[in-house]
C-alpha cells in the first residue's frame, strides 16, 4: 500500500533540483548563563543526578534551562520525566522553543505513543514551528518509531526542500518498520535527484539489505559505499562486516576486516562471532589473541564469544580460564555471561559447575532455565531435566519455548517415556511449533527412542518441505536403533533421490544400522561410497562402526586386519568394538589383543577388563574371569550398574 503511494507521488514533488544539506536550526538558542552550560555538560557525561540538583538550585529557571533538562532526559531514555517536566514548564507560563519541542518529540518517540505524537504534532503547528526542518524531521522520525509510517511519509511529503537529514530519517523509518523494499525504492528516487549519501544514509540501507538477505543487493550497497569514499568510517565498516556476517560469507567478511585501518572492539567481536557461528572456534581464539596484542580491551561480548568457542571445542580447561578472566574483569554478575557459562560447562560434561552457576544466578532468565534443562538432558540426567522443567513452569511461570521443548523431548526420549512424548507432541501443536524444524527433529528422535518408529516416521512425513539433513539423520537413526536395517538403507537411497546430500552423521547412522542388522555387504559398500564418492573423511566413530560390523558378523580376521591397517593412533572405542565382537564369538586370543590396545590408550578405564572377564567366562575360564574382577576391586574401580526401565514404576531413571 505504502509502496504504491510512493510510486504514485505527483511528478511535481520530484522536481526539486537542490537538496538542502544544511543542518542549522532555524531557531538559534543562546545560553548566557554559566549554570545552563554546566547543566548541559552534566547530561553530556550522563550525570543525571548532578543535573537535577543543579536545576533544583537555580533561582530563576528560564526556557533555556527547562529545554536542556527536557532534552537531556529524552536523550538519556527518561521519557516520562521529560514529558512531566515539560508539563511543569507550561504551567509556569513559559512558551517552548524549537529545542524544547525536539526534546518532547524524542520522548514521545521513546514512549511509542502515536496518540501522544499527534498531540505533539498539533503543538508544533500551534507554535508555528512546522517550517523548522529540524523539528519536522523529528516529527517524521517520531511517527516512524511509533509504527505509523503513513503519517511519517505524509509529513515528509509536506517538506518543500527536504534535506539530507530528512531523507535519511524517512528511509530509516521504512527500514525500522520492516518496509525494506519501499525504503530502498525511495533512496533510489532520491539518488536520481542528486542526493549524495553520507554515513547515516548507508547505515540504514545496510540494515534493509541485510534483512532482505540478498547477496547481490548487499554487494551493490557495498559498491556504493566504496564509490562515495565512506569506507573510512569505522561504523560503516562495522555495518558492512555485520552484513556479510549475516550472509555467512566468511571470505567477504575476512577481506573487509583485513582492509580495515581502524578496528574497534565491535569489529573484532563481529568477526569472532561469524567464525564461532560457522564453528571455526580455533580461528576465533586466534583472532582474540591478535585483538589483545593490538591493544583493544575486551568487553562482555568478547568473553561470551570466547566461552562459546570453548564450548564448541569441548575445551574445559580453557573454558575455566575464560571464566576466571570474566570474574577478574567484573563481568561475572551479568546474566548473559552466566547463561553462556551454564551452556559451556554442560557441553564440556561438567554438569556440577554448570549447576553451581545456575544456582548462584539470582535473576534467572528463560535462557538460564533452558540452558540448564538442555545440559541435564544431554548429559544423561533426564529425570533432573524434567524436574527443572516443572520447576521453571511453576516457580517462574515460564511458558515452553521451542528450545526448552527440545530439552524436554530429549529427556523424554532418554527415559523412553512414550506418554510424556505424546503430551509434549500435543504441546507442540497447541503452541504453534509444528513448523519449527528443530522441534520436529527432536520429536522424531524421541519417538524412535521410545520404540515408536512408526510415529516418528509420521512426524517425518508431515514435515514435508521442512525436512533437512538432520531430519533424515533422525529417522535413519530411529529405524537403525530399532533393528530395521533394510528400511534404513531404503530410506538412505530415497534421501539421495530427493537431492539431499548425506553428511558424516548420515553415514554413521547407516553403518550403525547395518552393524546391528548384520548387513555386512551393504555396510561396506556404503562406507566405500562415503569415502570415494562423497569425499567424506572417516572419523574414529565411522571406523568403529565398520569394525563392529565385521566383528558382530563373525568376520574377526577381517576386523583385526582393518583395525591394524587404518586405526593406528586412534582412540580406544574402535578396539572396544572389536572386543565386544570377540565376546559374541568367544575368540580369546583376539580379545586379549584388543584389551591390551585399549589399556594402552585408556589406562584408567575398566570396561575392557569387564569385557575380557566376560570373554573368559564364556569359554569356561572362570578362574581368570574372577581374577580380573578382583583386580578391579583392589584398584577401587566399580562397574556402573545397568538400570532397567519399567513403565509406570517411579524408580530413579537418571
Per-domain residue ranges of the chain? 263-354, 563-642
Residues 6+ apart with CB under 8 A from 357: 338, 341, 342, 345
pLDDT of 632: 63
Q: Are 239 and 268 in contact (CB under 8 A)?
A: no
The runs of H, that is alpha helices, within 260-350 are 265-277, 281-293, 300-313, 316-328, 335-347
234 burial type by CB count under 10 A (0-12 exposed, 13-18 middle, 19+ buried) = middle
pLDDT of 573: 72
pLDDT of 12: 33
Q: Are 506 and 471 in contact (CB under 8 A)?
A: no
Backbone angles phi, psi at 639, to 5 degrees: -70, 135
Q: Helices 402-415 & 437-449, crossing angle to 10 degrees?
A: 10
pLDDT of 29: 40
pLDDT of 312: 94
CA 483/CA 250 separation, integer angstroms: 42
How many other C-beta atoms can be found within 10 angstroms of the C-beta atom of residue 152?
A: 26
Backbone angles phi, psi at 175, to 5 degrees: -65, -45
Q: Return the SS3 of 416.
A: coil
pLDDT of 650: 41
The closest of 43, 169, 49 to 109, measured between CA atoms, is 169
CA 346/CA 372 separation, integer angstroms: 8
Q: Are 175 and 189 in contact (CB under 8 A)?
A: no
Low-confidence ranges of the chain (pLDDT < 70): 1-33, 556, 563-571, 585-586, 598, 600, 602-609, 618-619, 624, 628, 632-654
In sequence order, what are the beta bridge partners of 20?
A: 163
> How would you write 107-145 as a 3-class SS string?
HHHHHCCHHHHHHHHHHHHHCCCCCCHHHHHHHHHHHHH
pLDDT of 620: 73
Q: Any idea which residue has 531430519 for its cell?
A: 471
How many other C-beta atoms can be found within 10 angstroms of the C-beta atom of residue 59?
A: 5
Residues 6+ apart with CB under 8 A from 613: 624, 625, 626, 628, 629
Q: Any idea which residue has 539431499 for its cell?
A: 500
Residues 6+ apart with CB under 8 A from 452: 418, 421
CA 548/CA 556 separation, integer angstroms: 10
Which cell is 290 given?
Answer: 591478535
> What Å distances lie between residue 455 and 418, 450, 465, 485, 645, CA to CA?
11, 10, 19, 18, 21
Q: What is the largest CA-CA distance in the chain?
A: 106
CA 164/CA 198 separation, integer angstroms: 8
Q: Return the SS3 of 466.
A: helix
> How would you write 515-584 as a 3-class SS string?
HHHCCHHHHHHHHHHHHHCCCCCCCHHHHHHHHHHHHHCCCHHHHHHHHHHHCCCCCCHHHHHHHHHHHH
Q: Which long-range contacts (CB under 8 A, 24 or more apart) does 429-433 make?
A: 431/399, 431/400, 431/405, 433/402, 433/405
pTM of the predicted structure, to 2 decimals:
0.76
Residues 6+ apart with CB under 8 A from 113: 146
Q: Is 41 left (phi over 0), alpha (psi -120 to 50) or beta?
A: alpha
CA 316/CA 310 separation, integer angstroms: 7
Per-residue b/e over 294-324, b at no fewer than 16 CB within 10 Å? eebebebbbbbbbbbbbbbbebbeebbebbe
- Which 8-state DSSP code applies to residue 11? G
Q: Any idea which residue has 565386544 for its cell?
A: 580
The closest of 508, 509, 497, 572 to 541, measured between CA atoms, is 508
Q: Any idea which residue has 520436529 for its cell?
A: 440
pLDDT in tens, 317-335: 999 999 999 998 888 778 9
The closest of 508, 513, 540 to 527, measured between CA atoms, is 508
The closest of 218, 213, 143 to 177, measured between CA atoms, is 143
How many other C-beta atoms can be found within 10 angstroms of the C-beta atom of residue 449?
A: 24
Residues in the chain: 654
Q: Are 578 and 594 in contact (CB under 8 A)?
A: yes
Amino acid at each position: 500500500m505504502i509502496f504504491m503511494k510512493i510510486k504514485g507521488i505527483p511528478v511535481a514533488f520530484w522536481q526539486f533540483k537542490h537538496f538542502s544539506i544544511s543542518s542549522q536550526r532555524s531557531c538559534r538558542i543562546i545560553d548566557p548563563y554559566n549554570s545552563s552550560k554546566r547543566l548541559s555538560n552534566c547530561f553530556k557525561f550522563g550525570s543525571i543526578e548532578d543535573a537535577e540538583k543543579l536545576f533544583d538550585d537555580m533561582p530563576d529557571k528560564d526556557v533555556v534551562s527547562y529545554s536542556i533538562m527536557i532534552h537531556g532526559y529524552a536523550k538519556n531514555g527518561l521519557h516520562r520525566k521529560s514529558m512531566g517536566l515539560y508539563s511543569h514548564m507550561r504551567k509556569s507560563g513559559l512558551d517552548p522553543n524549537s529545542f524544547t519541542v525536539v526534546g518532547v518529540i524524542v520522548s514521545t518517540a521513546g514512549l511509542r505513543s502515536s496518540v501522544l505524537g499527534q498531540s505533539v504534532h498539533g503543538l508544533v503547528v500551534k507554535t508555528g514551528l512546522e517550517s523548522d526542518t529540524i523539528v519536522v524531521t523529528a516529527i517524521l522520525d517520531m511517527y516512524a518509531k511509533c509504527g505509523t509510517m503513513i503519517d511519517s511519509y505524509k509529513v515528509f511529503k509536506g517538506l518543500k526542500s527536504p534535506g539530507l537529514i530528512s531523507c535519511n530519517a524517512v528511509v530509516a523509518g521504512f527500514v525500522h518498520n520492516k518496509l525494506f523494499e519501499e525504503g530502498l525504492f525511495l533512496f533510489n528516487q532520491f539518488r536520481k535527484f542528486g542526493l549524495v549519501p553520507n554515513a547515516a544514509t548507508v547505515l540504514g540501507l545496510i540494515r534493509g539489505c541485510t534483512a532482505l538477505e540478498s547477496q547481490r543487493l548487499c554487494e551493490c550497497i557495498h559498491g556504493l559505499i566504496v564509490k562515495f569514499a565512506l569506507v573510512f568510517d569505522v561504523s560503516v565498516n562495522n555495518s558492512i562486516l555485520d552484513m556479510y556476517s549475516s550472509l555467512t560469507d566468511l571470505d567477504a567478511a575476512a577481506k573487509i576486516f583485513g582492509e580495515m585501518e581502524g578496528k574497534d572492539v565491535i569489529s573484532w567481536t563481529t568477526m569472532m562471532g561469524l567464525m564461532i557461528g560457522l564453528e571455526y572456534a580455533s580461528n576465533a581464539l586466534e583472532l582474540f589473541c591478535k585483538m589483545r596484542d593490538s591493544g583493544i580491551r575486551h568487553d562482555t561480548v568478547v568473553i561470551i564469544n570466547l566461552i562459546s568457542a570453548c564450548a564448541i571445542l569441548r575445551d574445559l580447561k580453557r573454558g575455566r580460564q575464560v571464566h576466571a578472566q570474566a570474574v577478574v574483569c567484573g563481568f561475572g554478575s551479568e546474566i548473559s555471561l552466566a547463561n553462556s557459562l551454564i551452556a559451556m560447562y554442560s557441553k564440556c560434561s561438567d554438569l556440577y559447575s554448570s549447576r553451581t552457576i545456575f544456582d548462584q544466578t539470582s535473576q534467572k532468565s528463560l535462557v538460564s532455565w533452558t540452558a540448564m534443562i538442555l545440559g541435564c538432558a544431554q548429559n544423561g540426567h533426564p529425570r533432573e531435566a524434567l524436574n527443572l522443567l516443572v520447576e521453571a513452569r511453576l516457580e517462574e511461570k515460564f511458558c515452553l519455548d521451542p528450545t526448552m521443548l527440545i530439552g524436554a523431548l530429549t529427556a523424554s526420549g532418554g527415559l523412553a517415556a512414550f506418554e510424556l512424548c505424546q503430551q509434549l507432541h500435543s504441546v507442540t501443536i497447541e503452541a504453534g511449533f509444528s513448523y519449527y524444524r528443530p522441534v520436529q527433529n527432536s520429536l522424531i528422535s524421541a519417538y524412535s527412542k521410545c520404540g515408536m518408529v512408526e510415529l516418528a516416521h509420521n512426524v517425518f512425513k508431515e514435515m514435508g518441505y521442512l525436512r533437512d539433513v538432520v531430519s533424515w539423520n533422525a529417522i535413519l537413526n530411529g529405524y537403525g536403533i530399532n533393528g530395521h536395517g533394510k528400511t534404513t538403507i531404503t530410506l538412505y537411497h530415497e534421501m539421495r533421490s530427493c537431492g539431499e546430500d548425506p553428511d558424516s552423521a548420515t553415514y554413521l547412522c547407516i553403518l550403525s544400522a547395518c552393524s546391528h542388522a548384520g548387513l555386512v555387504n551393504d555396510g561396506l559398500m556404503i562406507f566405500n561410497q562415503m569415502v570415494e564418492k562423497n569425499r567424506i573423511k572417516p572419523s574414529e566413530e565411522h571406523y568403529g562402526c565398520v569394525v563392529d560390523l565385521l566383528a558382530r558378523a563373525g568376520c574377526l580376521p577381517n576386523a583385526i586386519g582393518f583395525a591394524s591397517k587404518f586405526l593406528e593412533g586412534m582412540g580406544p572405542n574402535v578396539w572396544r568394538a572389536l572386543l565386544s565382537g570377540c565376546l559374541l564369538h568367544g575368540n580369546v586370543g583376539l580379545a586379549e589383543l584388543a584389551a591390551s590396545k585399549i589399556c594402552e590408550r585408556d589406562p584408567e578405564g575398566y570396561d575392557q577388563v569387564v569385557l575380557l572377564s566376560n570373554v573368559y567366562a564364556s569359554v569356561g575360564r572362570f578362574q581368570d574371569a574372577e581374577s580380573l574382577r578382583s583386580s578391579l576391586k583392589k584398584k577401587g574401580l566399580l562397574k556402573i550398574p545397568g538400570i532397567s526401565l519399567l513403565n509406570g514404576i517411579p524408580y530413579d531413571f537418571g
